[in-house]
Structure 1
């Protein structure tokens, strides 16, 4: 399971009770990828679920679509890029 959160008020620790293996948080114009390691989250630069995806490129593309069109279009593109 993977959680992607684009809100500005979530904290990775909010996901700990649910034992979400990987959490992507976009805050302050930066994507942070966290992976559950035992009973805590550690920051990583690459997704364990999408190793071929460059997170920085993906975020830049989504932001461009959101600015040019809207957030819904950016989310649809993100799902498409991730195979969903």
Structure 2
């Protein structure tokens, strides 16, 4: 999810762009803008950087295990083929 402080910063920038005479409206606008942005971003299917990094590491370990298993299977198949040839 996007950093809440970043959303607050965006809302504050929008609020600061309003004329000074409408500060009350600006405060309400800032709160509503923040609420709408958070609601819309919550609908997106996003993951945090930490979750992404964890899953990347899991994927790398899984690939390493798969490669090792493929090599082991290849060795076993070679051994079996050699034994079959020797038995003939």
Higher share of residues assigned strand? 1
Higher share of residues assigned helix? 2
Answer with 1 or 2: which has the greater Rg: 2
TM-score > 0.5, shorter chain as reference: no
| TM-score (structure 1 length as normaliser) | 0.29
| TM-score (structure 2 length as normaliser) | 0.28
| Structure with more contact order per residue of length (Cα contacts < 8 Å, sep ≥ 6) | 2
